[in-house]
Each structure stands twice: as structure tokens, then as C-alpha cells.
């Protein structure tokens, strides 16, 4: 059967100070869609994309255990048994393996899609079509690992890449074989990949047979496999929580791309496939990318949350959590100004990546 799991465990440090330890970026209600007065979180939007993809009882969220209460409040349709709570973050290979271990125990034929909680994807019908093709590839051949490719528009160094190795028959023109995965290449390589026309951005979403993934872990990451199998054995028993809390924090931290997808390219027991996802795709992982969700004024200024006054200023992003507090800019260009009741951030747009370094040095009470 088909299962879907949204990974929602990130902290979103590059969206500080709005994203905080108690309310990470996937739960912030700061996305407004045309014609909709409500502000929605990225996780709420990601959950909407599951409608019609798989039955509701096979839709899951994997997140930090400490966010369970907030998710239950914001997305009440996700009952406790459909939230996989990580005792602490152990990177994506263990989050994915957590789902594969649990669903594979309950259903030996489980085919699992792993979806992201921090992207805006339109239109929904093209997303659903690509996912259906991905499920079908794995259902026809359980040794296939499916990823989804986005046509690159610039030589990004913050995304992974997948190389097209040839068309895959019987996939409505969307499927292709994957020659290799490359995780976050340097600029010169990213420029080379863009010019070649044979590489796509890795959308960070996958479809695979749960048992195939666990077998890959056993071959390439045996420490993770051993721990996850202990969790799987205890799942559904009175020892479930105790074993999870004991074992999960000790799993080695590594991403699914480095741990499984890259070595899978040379693993003779599996095959790699890609599916073109011809959509508008925005990774809302930083303040400049969040700015792309807002309409600019005639001088390129973008604002959200509160009144803004500008004079002789252009290409600025201003975000406030106080609808009665005015932020005024005079003679400013290419700035990011983020105002909350707990902290205010001001920085040049081209220094947005440095928030991670700033955040790392903050005392815990400010994070």
C-alpha cells in the first residue's frame, strides 16, 4: 500500500528571529496565498498536498517530539498515532529510516513517499501526477529508488543535483534513470551541471519500498539499521517509547543523500529513477527566499505583517509581527529588516547565510 510521510524536523535557523526553538519555520503562519485571508504555515500547506495522494490514515508527519502538541493544535486531523516524534534530531537518514521501519513492520508491501515541509509547490495537479508516477515505478519494481527533479534556473550550491541517464519507458514521459546524485556542489560544478542540461535539482522528495530502504541501510549504514530495527521490534508494544528514547539519540547523524542515495548509485541490488516535476518550486529556507512569496512595490521593496514607510529606498525586505508598529526606511537598499517582540534583525541581503553563524553564538534563551 501507499504511504506518505512529511519530514518536519528542521529548526529553520536562517529564518531567525521569527523561527525560534519553540516554533520552528515549518510551523510559523507567515505564508499568504492570493485570495486567501488566512496566514498558513509551510507544514499546513504541505499537508494539503497529501489530499488525494494516499488515504488519510496513511498520511504521517515525522517531527521533533517536542513539537507534537503544537502540530496537534495546528493540524488536528493528524492524530497522535500519525505523528512520529523524534526524541532529538538525528538528520534525515534516520527520520526516513524511522518511517520505513515502522510502516514496513505494519505492512510488508509498504511503498513510502518522503515529502518536505519547507517548499511551496504549484500547481498541485502536476505535483500529484509526478508523485503518482513515482509510486507506480516502485510498485512495478520494488528495487527502484525514486527521486524528483526540478529544472534548475541558476547554479545553486545549496541544493543537491541528480543526473539524467536516459528516459524511463512507461512513465508518461516524466521518468528517467539516474546516473548519480551530487549533494551541494561547489559553484564551478553547479555551473557545469546547469550548462550540461542533463542535471536537475534534487527536490528532496523520494519514493521507495520500505524494505528496500532498510536493506540499503543494512549494507551502507549498519549502525543506523541496527538501532532502527530495535525500534521496529518494540513498536506497538509497551516498550515502544522507552526503546525509542534510548536508541534514537544514539543513531549516527548523517543526511539521507550522503548515507543512502549517493552510495545507491553503485549498489547492484537497486536502481535509481527520477521523475520530472514540472512545477514552480520555492525552498522557503531563508529570508531572501521568503521575500519571493511577497509582492514587491514599484521599487522592489517587499513587506509583511505591519506598516512600512519608505523613502528613496529599494529592494528591501521588511517583516514585522506587530500590525501597529511602523518600520520606516530612508535611503536604504538591499536590506533585510525583521522585527519581533523578542528580537530585531537588520542585515544586508547578501549576508543572509550568515544568520546560521549568528544563531550558533546566541545564548539559549535567545534562540
Per-residue pLDDT reduced to its tens digit, 174-215: 999 999 888 889 999 999 999 999 999 999 999 999 999 999
Domain 2-283 indexed as CATH 3.40.50.970: no
**Cα–Cα distance, 158 to 151 (Å, whole number):** 15
**pLDDT attached to residue 148:** 97
**What span, in angstroms and rounded, lies between the C-alpha atoms of 124 and 281?**
11
* pLDDT band at residue 22 using 50, 70 and 90 as cut-offs: confident
Nearest one of 115, 112, 80, 81 to 9, comparing CA atoms: 115
Domain with CATH 3.90.550.10 in the chain: 2-283
Which DSSP helix (H) or strand (E) runs through 256?
helix 256-256
The model's confidence at residue 91, banded by pLDDT at 50, 70 and 90, is very high
- pLDDT given for residue 184 in this prediction: 87
Q: Contact, 318 vs 296, CB < 8 A?
A: no
Distances, alpha carbon 159 to alpha carbons 124, 149, 186, in Å: 22, 11, 10
Q: At a CB cut-off of 8 Å and minimum separation 6, what does 36 contact? A: none
Identify the pLDDT of residue 309: 97
Round the average pLDDT of the chain to a whole number and report it: 94
Q: Which residues pair with residue 147 across a beta bridge? A: 206, 274
pLDDT at 38 over 90: no
Q: Is the pLDDT of residue 35 over 80?
A: no
Neighbours of 160 (CB within 10 A): 21
| Alpha-carbon gap, residue 161 to 258, rounded angstroms | 12
- Give the closest residue to 7 by CA, choosing from 215, 234, 206, 201: 206
At residue 36, does pLDDT exceed 80? no
Q: Which pTM was predicted?
A: 0.92
Amino acid at each position: 500500500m501507499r504511504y506518505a510521510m512529511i519530514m518536519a524536523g528542521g529548526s529553520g535557523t536562517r529564518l531567525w528571529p521569527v523561527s525560534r526553538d519553540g516554533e520552528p519555520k515549518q510551523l510559523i503562519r507567515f505564508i499568504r496565498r492570493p485570495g486567501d485571508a488566512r496566514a498558513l504555515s509551510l507544514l499546513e500547506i504541505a499537508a494539503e498536498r497529501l489530499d488525494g495522494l494516499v488515504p488519510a490514515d496513511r498520511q504521517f508527519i515525522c517531527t521533533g517530539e517536542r513539537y507534537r502538541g503544537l502540530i496537534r493544535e495546528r493540524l488536528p486531523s493528524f492524530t497522535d498515532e500519525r505523528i512520529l516524534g523524534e526524541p532529538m534530531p538525528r538528520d534525515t537518514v534516520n527520520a526516513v529510516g524511522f518511517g520505513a521501519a515502522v510502516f514496513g513492520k505494519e505492512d510488508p508491501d509498504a511503498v513510502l513517499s518522503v515529502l518536505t515541509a519547507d517548499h511551496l509547490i504549484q500547481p498541485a495537479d502536476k505535483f500529484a501526477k509526478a508523485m503518482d508516477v513515482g509510486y507506480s515505478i516502485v510498485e512495478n519494481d520494488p528495487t527502484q529508488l525514486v527521486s524528483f527533479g526540478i529544472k534548475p534556473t541558476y547554479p545553486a550550491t545549496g541544493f543537491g543535483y541528480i543526473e539524467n541517464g536516459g528516459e524511463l519507458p512507461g512513465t508518461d514521459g516524466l521518468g528517467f534513470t539516474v546516473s548519480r546524485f551530487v549533494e551541494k556542489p561547489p559553484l564551478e560544478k553547479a555551473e557545469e551541471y546547469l550548462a550540461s542540461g542533463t542535471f536537475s535539482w534534487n527536490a528532496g522528495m523520494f519514493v521507495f519500498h520500505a524494505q528496500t530502504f532498510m536493506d540499503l541501510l543494512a549494507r551502507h549504514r549498519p549502525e543506523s539499521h541496527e538501532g532502527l530495527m530495535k525500534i521496529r521490534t518494540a513498536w506497538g508494544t509497551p516498550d515502544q517509547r522507552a526503546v525509542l528514547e534510548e536508541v534514537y539519540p544514539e543513531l549516527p547523524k548523517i543526511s539521507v543523500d550522503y548515507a543512502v542515495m549517493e552510495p545507491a548509485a553503485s549498489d547492484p541490488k537497486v536502481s535509481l529513477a527520477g521523475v520530472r516535476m514540472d512545477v514552480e518550486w520555492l525552498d522557503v529556507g531563508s529570508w531572501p527566499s521568503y521575500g519571493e512569496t511577497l509582492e514587491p512595490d514599484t521599487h522592489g521593496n517587499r513587506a509583511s505583517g505591519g506598516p512600512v514607510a519608505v523613502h528613496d529606498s529599494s529592494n528591501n525586505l521588511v517583516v514585522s509581527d506587530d500590525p501597529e508598529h511602523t518600520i520606516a526606511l530612508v535611503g536604504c537598499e538591499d536590506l533585510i529588516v525583521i522585527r519581533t517582540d523578542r528580537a530585531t534583525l537588520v542585515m544586508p541581503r547578501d549576508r543572509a547565510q550568515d544568520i546560521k553563524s549568528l544563531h550558533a553564538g546566541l545564548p539559549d534563551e535567545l534562540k
